[in-house]
Structure 1
């Protein structure tokens, strides 16, 4: 089916709904005040090229940097992510923000004639209230990154659906609030599983090719809108055209 204005709107809202449902799952299953009450988390959906396709109305500071974290995760594991794999990271030099913001990334697949076929990626980022460091809350007046807390490079939190509990234990052991860390990480994992399932359902219902076509069309549409809006920004006055008013 060719992409038209109606089908694009339908797919756009389906993609957004995946991100929104991920956020609902994360909030309802989280433990800490940061995530359950303050809703300091974000969820988004990416195409196979790790380009953000849709996001929920969550935290802009998370969503702006999240694509770099997804790309860093895929670069660290160049053979790709298998079904059930989840990558965890918080390194600010790999797309993170500050260390309390921990990101999870996973791939969503659908069944094809030659086996599992990649649909895209789902990701979430949540602010954990303490990941170690020199001060409670892990947001000290520090002079170097190492004082802020535990730095997590891209690691496999889950392999083929089997959770790596050693990674969770390491994070919890470095936190002043380990129970909250364990609960919030479990909530992020649950959110990722919801995203995988919902994205797979879209591809199974409409087909992989059509799903990818609408992902690409949505990015093209967003680019056109952005470029048009930029052209509408008034030109700033130059020094030669500026009139200054002086006071007597």
Structure 2
């Protein structure tokens, strides 16, 4: 869709098998800071993974931003017997060949994924009372279809019922189908690149360097914060919100407490939940805090 292809309203990231961020592109800050919450959610929700699985989610209370931002997350396996190929679909739609087993032989558990690849894209319409991102709604159910974490693909096989349910609740189903296919293809390419990296350098070395990147990023961030004067810094602003026929000034207040190499953001004094589509869930609030700190770091941070 133009919203994704032309406006580039999407973001991609790579995570390790525990859901820790490894790399992200210079895409949408609100997406990037919130995607780790979605990955942690699906790791809590699903314990068994297969090659070709793809989870879809847009629920703001499950690590999402707002409903138009749909996230697709897939595991990447790079074990000793791994063969370079696709993520069970997308660019190279190759499903794994099942291994015949004796009926009485218990099915062996799959090894845990070494990585996860994720993309979050702003879909132009997800249903709701009006097209677009900010309807004059009073509850989330008026904003569009809510998709909790669910496997859209299992072992490379599309769950047609889930897709049909999503597409039946939007105004532009063909466009949504294309954007979802593009997100799946992005995951397939990301998985292929990771396998190529592991094939060239070995799984242990790649994972070790991922850990080094994470530790280096933390050191840079902590060193930057340590250079700021300790203290409590408070700022307050207001958002003009129309509720019915009444204009309401909704305060947003934050106190940033700097102590040594740590900073804490406290939003006490901010207005309670409003009857509109301007509420910020925890994932987007955390993302905003991460982005502020990231902008104040002069050095190049790998993630």
CA drift at 1:139: 2.4
The answer for the alignment partner of 1:118 in structure 2 is 113
Which aligned pairs between 1:1-248 and structure 2 lie closer than 5 A? 32-79=1-48, 81-112=49-80, 118-235=113-230
d(CA) in 2 for partners of 1:200, 1:117: 15
Q: Is the 8 A contact 2:4 2:10 kept in 1?
A: yes
CA drift at 1:231: 0.9
Q: Is the 8 A contact 2:53 2:74 kept in 1?
A: yes
CA drift at 1:166: 2.1
- Alignment gaps of 5+ in structure 1: 1-31, 239-248
TM normalised by structure 1 equals 0.79
Please list the CA deviations of residues 102-137 of structure 1 after superposition, one character each: whole Å capped at 9, or x if unmatched.
000011112316986632110000000000111112
Please list the CA deviations of residues 2-28 of structure 1 after superposition, one character each: whole Å capped at 9, or x if unmatched.
xxxxxxxxxxxxxxxxxxxxxxxxxxx
Q: Is the 8 A contact 2:17 2:112 kept in 1?
A: no
Identify the structure with the greater helix proportion.
1
Please list the CA deviations of residues 76-111 of structure 1 after superposition, one character each: whole Å capped at 9, or x if unmatched.
1123x2111000000101100000000000111123
Q: Is the 8 A contact 1:86 1:106 kept in 2?
A: yes
Q: Is the 8 A contact 1:91 1:153 kept in 2?
A: yes
The answer for the alignment partner of 1:18 in structure 2 is none
- Note closer, same or farther for the CA distance 1:36–1:160 as it changes in structure 2 (3 Å cut): same
How many residues are paired up? 206
d(CA) in 1 for partners of 2:45, 2:232: 47
- Note closer, same or farther for the CA distance 1:212–1:98 as it changes in structure 2 (3 Å cut): same
The answer for the alignment partner of 2:271 in structure 1 is none
d(CA) in 2 for partners of 1:50, 1:162: 24
Please list the CA deviations of residues 172-199 of structure 1 after superposition, one character each: whole Å capped at 9, or x if unmatched.
1111111110110010011111111111
| Aligned-partner SS, 2:114 | strand
- Alignment gaps of 5+ in structure 2: 83-109, 234-303
